[in-house]
Homo-oligomer: A and B are copies of this chain.
Amino acid sequence: MDYVTIRYITKKPKLNNPILIEGLPGIGNVGKLAVEHLIDSINAKKFAEIHSKDFPPQVFINTDGTIELVNNEFYYWKAKKKNQRDLILLTGDYQGLSSQGQYELVEKILDIAEEFGVKELITLGGYGLGHDIGEPKVLCATTGKNLVKTMKKHGAIFKKNEPGGGIVGASGLLLGLGKLRGIQGVCFMGETPGYLVDPKSAKAVLNILMKITNVEVNLSALEKKAKEIEQIAHQLKEMEGLSKEKSEELKYIGWVDFTRPQIFLEQVLHLKQLD
């Protein structure tokens, strides 16, 4: 096994000028939630897995008692209509743990993207504000000025020098390293308080993604989750006098893999019982 290894689990799909869309874990898990709901909604097919020695040395346990080595996963979807494009979708359990691991991972992702002829990519993430918000806006950044214009037409928002800290992690590196290879890229960052997983922000991100890709996504599952989270957030706020320990548990929840809802609910339940 190389430092970063690609493993195809089906024959390599034949794709026509595909767009790569990335959503890995991050603040509010916005990007991951968005891409996973996109995958479910359009019934995209998994075709490859990436393993890295810079991922945690960990396996997850499926509901049937079998294990799964932590990974990143590639899915594809073939366009159904004329105004659509083939898609490659990337999500996963982790980003690289170290700086070098992040660079190696993104370089490998770009190698694979180039193999499939990807000339444009879209990365999705959250923009943590640290306070409650009403309707989350979606900030944008791109690899080129032309794309800024195009994205503004689609309603994307650009704020001068925001986020001030730039874009950290795969969503940023895919644009930065992709640009060096001549791949055009756009990053959408959904505003999020950043405390909990944020399906509402993921929905906002998917709304703009739908406009750009002309792909219809069923948002009902995401809306349902958003309501659940809102309720949980409400209950959490009601628990006044939270001990420091508990607020740390809370922080942790923000990083829970929401796509494993049983675990998540058990954890929240556990929190409530403790109270």
Binding site for B on A (CB under 8 A): 1, 3, 7, 51, 53-61, 63-70, 96-104, 106-107, 140-145, 148, 158, 160-170, 172-173, 175-177, 179-180, 185, 187, 260, 262-263, 266-267
Contacts and interface: CB of A to CB of B under 8 A. Distances in A.
A68 B176 contact: yes
A167 B166 CA distance: 30
DSSP majority for the A interface? Answer: mixed
A187 B54 contact: no
Given A61-B163, A145-B64, A69 B176 contact: yes
A163 B155 CA distance: 44
Given A54-B99, A160-B262, A61 B169 contact: no
Quickly give the copy total for this chain: 4
Nearest to A94: B99
A179 to B, nearest CB: 7
Contacts of A69: 173, 176-177, 179-180
Contact of A161 (B53, B102, B262): B262
A1 B103 contact: yes
A153 B144 CA distance: 50
A100 B3 CA distance: 8
A147 B170 CA distance: 37
Contacts of A176: 58-59, 67-70
* Those 9 A-B pairs whose CB atoms lie nearest each other, nearest first: A69-B176, A57-B102, A53-B103, A65-B158, A59-B172, A60-B166, A59-B176, A65-B148, A53-B100
Contacts of A56: 99, 168
Contacts of A60: 166
Contact of A141 (B66, B140, B164): B66
18 contacts: A1-B107, A7-B180, A51-B180, A57-B103, A58-B173, A59-B141, A59-B175, A63-B161, A65-B141, A65-B142, A66-B141, A66-B142, A67-B141, A67-B143, A67-B166, A68-B176, A69-B173, A164-B267
